[in-house]
Amino acid sequence: MLVPLQVGQRVLVAATSISALVLAAAGLTIIFGLMGVINLAHGTFVMLGAYTGFMIQNAGFSPWLGIIAAPFVVGAIGLVLEISLVKRLYERPLDTLLATWGVAIILREGVKLVFGTSQKSVSAPIEGSISLLGTQAPVYWLFIIGISASVMTAVILLFKYTDVGIMALAVIENREMASALGIDTTLSDRLTFAFGSALAGLAGVIIAPRLSVNAEMGLSWLANSFLAVIVGGVGTFVGTIAGGVLLGGLDNIFRSVLPDLTAVAQALVLVVALVIIRYRPNGLIAPGGRE
């Protein structure tokens, strides 16, 4: 039985992991759930965000600069990918799947060539801890939770209440009609794809101080993000949050109960996800409206 101190620690660990997962899944919601693009390079974008933080720190700059720069760097990479490749494949989803998987392999192997295969570490920009939930909580963990909640709120408001977000949704819903109304659909596609990529980069850089950074880390983030989006409800940000909280929470619970059986814990999360998909094929929160 877990003592209160351990319970508090597990809650905080789960909350920070869930926060980063929700950010990564939100980027996938935009690219996959809204745009309909199966981007198998999305997990690699999370990895690139983490490596951006590592490079900036290794160059002697503040970790804060890494957190600021990573979304822009990864967003720019996503923009280049959309312009050079994805824009030609919007009507060919299977080709998009294969093409982005190929890009993911190229980026992953490129990182290995440049940085090697050893684990990298990134320093947290905030030191210290405070007493919370019966334990000493690192301040940076609370920062991760706070920044994730703030960004997700901003993303929901952006797509629901701003002209830019509404125009992006109009293009996604009916490209021909949006074009007839004078909306630059090409620009909208590029900015939307880049924005989804930037969210993945932000997720990677903020969680990097809590993980060992390596070129293979994107694979698990890709799988977990897709599961969160599908379980929560494809095309809805609220569903993405629900899916991320449920699966991330279960993952941490199973890992705490089965500390020496990580593979079994992951398999149990997958089983729960499959059961939900079986009985709720549209997700926990069906995307009746774009929210």
Task: Give the count of beta carbons closer than 10 Å to the beta carbon of residue 89.
Answer: 17
For residues 263-268, average pLDDT: 84
**pLDDT of res. 48:** 96
Range with the poorest average pLDDT among 86-90, 170-174, 201-205? 170-174
- Which segments of 162-236 does DSSP mark as H helices, in order? 163-173, 175-180, 185-207, 217-232
Q: Would you tell me how many other CB atoms lie within 10 Å of the CB of residue 237? A: 27
53-91 tens-digit pLDDT = 999 999 989 999 999 999 999 999 999 999 999 988 888
Residue 127 phi/psi, 5-degree rounding, is -100, 170
Q: Which residue has the higher pLDDT, 52 or 282?
A: 52
Nearest to 22 by CA among 269, 210, 236: 236
Whether pTM > 0.75 for this model: the answer is yes
Say if CB 160 and CB 290 are below 8 A apart: yes
Q: What token pair was written down for 145? A: 């939770």
Name the DSSP letter for residue 208: G
pLDDT (tens digit, 9 = 90+) per residue, 242-253? 999 998 888 888
CB atoms within 10 A of CB 121: 11
CA-based nearest residue to 63, from 150, 19, 127: 127
Domain boundaries, the chain: 4-215
What does the alpha-carbon distance between residue 286 and residue 19 come to, in Å, rounded to a whole number?
22
Give pLDDT, residue 286.
67
Look at residue 291 in the predicted model and tell me its pLDDT: 45
How far apart CA 188 and CA 190 sit, in angstroms, is 5
Average pLDDT score over the chain: 87
